[in-house]
């Protein structure tokens, strides 16, 4: 990593280590790849390499046993040139500043790629939520919300669910922010319960976006989805929903991996039964109607489509050569390292990058935010139809840019998105 990103290249901020850039290093490489295509806007490219604002907070809470525990919390606003920051909050024991920075930057790109009027932001707490009681989890969430309350708001920065956070987490965040402000502010977060101003279709939106983009790409490369074999990593809101929609379209889900283990069935897994099993047990492990396989073997499973929908940096230079799929649809954020990207490109594997493939969630988050402001709510059919239209239009534009410039879909998405971000920067200028 150090050799690929020498400090001089990016004049790295002092709070980062040049020899250990983590996910932020991957993002910087992606920016480098897009820079030659930015034309006169390249003057502003440093804008993309530095987050606008980083807040690191201490999150102290009283545990159930009376002791006091301290957790590290982050909120990073990468760019707000096109609108308020937007991005999720994850609870994970391995969350780092580099990770949250990269995720916030990918949100900037993602929001610009589908042309919703948001900048990019992300948050996280270094905590293993499985080790906390419900009461402790609530106290962590509320304290974190209070600590970052100075920089979030319906017109400033709008958090949403991410890894290990859900509707309940958002309800606590919304309530805490509202109590501190002295007025109910439903638009401060998205991904809320329906009863608190959440949007129909939000829970399934990211998975539906993955499915929509996958179908569009399959059509363009002449792949028949009916009978196509699909392997899915991660079986939550993204991977599980995408698997269900692909199965309904006639595909076979032949392998699934999550934190509990890896299962397979050549004839195709019963997706509704597996979803129910995961809901009850919390993992795909132990699903009776499937064979167990070694975790490492997942990457070489014979399939036409691979959907990484778990965490970042899963497809690496080590396993990219084993992948048999013709198409990779990135349901997770940053699941493929730049080195793996190159390997897949050389092997003619079509990668549908996260910054467009999983943008369904933030698109419906935008709908939720708009509905909260107007206090007028749409039907689920209306929301799904608007989502599909936006995703299809965005993908068509990106496909065209990729064809014209003879670049990967990831670089094409970055070209479209970064031009929009930097054009906003140029038009707004520098203040003061």
| 158 shares its domain with 286 | no
| 71 shares its domain with 173 | yes
The reply to whether 43 falls in a domain is no
Going by their DSSP bridges, the two strands 252-258 and 261-264 should be labelled as: antiparallel
Contacts for 278-286 with beta carbons within 8 Å, 24 or more apart?
278/235, 278/236, 278/240, 283/258, 283/259, 284/235, 284/256, 284/257, 284/258, 284/260, 285/258, 285/260, 285/261, 286/260
pLDDT of residue 386: 95
Catalytically active residues are 122
CATH number at residue 127: 3.40.50.10860
Of 304, 326, 357, the residue that ends a domain is: 357
| 244 shares its domain with 167 | no
| 230 shares its domain with 177 | no
pLDDT of residue 219: 95
Give Rg (Cα) of the chain.
Answer: 21
The reply to whether 191 falls in a domain is no
Domain limits for position 171: 51-183
The reply to whether 381 falls in a domain is no
The reply to whether 60 falls in a domain is yes
pLDDT of residue 9: 57
Mean pLDDT by 10 residues, the chain (432 residues): 44 82 90 95 95 98 98 98 97 95 95 96 97 98 98 97 93 98 97 94 92 96 94 92 96 92 91 92 86 90 94 90 94 91 93 94 95 94 95 96 94 96 96 89
What pTM was estimated for this model as a whole?
A: 0.91
| 65 shares its domain with 163 | yes
| Residue-by-residue DSSP string for 72-102 | EEEEEEEE-TTSSEEEEEEEETT--HHHHHH
Of 120, 150, 183, the residue that ends a domain is: 183
Going by their DSSP bridges, the two strands 229-233 and 157-161 should be labelled as: unpaired
| 268 shares its domain with 150 | no
């Amino acid at each position: 990593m150090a050799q690929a990103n020498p400090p001089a290249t990016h004049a790295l901020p002092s709070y980062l280590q040049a020899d250990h850039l983590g996910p932020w290093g991957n993002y910087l490489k992606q920016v480098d790849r897009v820079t030659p295509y930015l034309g006169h806007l390249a003057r502003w490219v440093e804008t993309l390499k530095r987050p606008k604002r980083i807040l690191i907070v201490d999150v102290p809470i009283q545990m159930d046993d009376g002791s006091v525990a301290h957790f590290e919390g982050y909120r990073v606003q990468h760019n707000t040139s096109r609108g308020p920051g937007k991005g999720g909050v994850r609870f994970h024991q391995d969350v780092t500043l580099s990770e949250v920075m990269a995720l916030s930057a990918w949100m900037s790109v993602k929001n610009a790629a589908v042309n919703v009027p948001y900048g990019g932001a992300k948050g996280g707490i270094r905590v293993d939520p499985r080790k906390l009681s419900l009461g402790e989890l609530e106290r962590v969430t509320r304290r974190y919300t209070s600590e970052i309350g100075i920089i979030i708001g319906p017109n400033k920065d709008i958090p949403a669910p991410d890894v290990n956070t859900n509707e309940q987490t958002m309800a606590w965040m919304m309530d805490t922010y509202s109590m501190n402000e002295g007025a109910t502010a439903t638009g401060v977060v998205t991904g809320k319960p329906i009863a608190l101003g959440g949007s129909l279709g939000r829970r399934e939106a990211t998975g539906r976006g993955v499915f929509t983009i996958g179908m569009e790409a399959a059509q363009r490369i002449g792949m028949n989805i009916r009978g196509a074999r699909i392997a899915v990593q991660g079986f939550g809101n993204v991977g599980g929903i995408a698997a269900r929609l692909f199965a309904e379209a006639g595909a076979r889900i032949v392998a699934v991996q999550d934190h509990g283990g890896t299962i397979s069935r050549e004839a195709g897994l019963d997706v509704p039964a597996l979803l129910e099993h995961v809901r009850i047990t919390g993992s795909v492990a132990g699903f009776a109607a499937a064979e167990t396989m070694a975790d490492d073997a997942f990457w070489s499973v014979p399939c036409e489509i691979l959907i990484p929908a778990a965490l970042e940096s899963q497809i690496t230079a080590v396993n990219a050569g084993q992948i048999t799929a013709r198409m990779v649809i990135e349901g997770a954020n940053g699941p493929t390292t730049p080195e793996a990207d190159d390997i897949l490109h050389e092997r003619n594997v079509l990668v549908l990058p996260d910054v467009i493939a999983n943008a369904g969630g933030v698109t419906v988050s935008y709908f939720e935010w708009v509905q909260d402001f107007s206090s007028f709510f749409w039907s689920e059919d209306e929301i799904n139809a608007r989502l599909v239209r936006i995703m299809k239009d965005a993908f068509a534009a990106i496909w065209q840019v990729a064809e014209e410039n003879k670049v990967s879909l990831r670089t094409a998405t970055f070209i479209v998105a970064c031009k929009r971000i930097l054009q906003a920067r140029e038009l707004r200028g520098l203040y003061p």
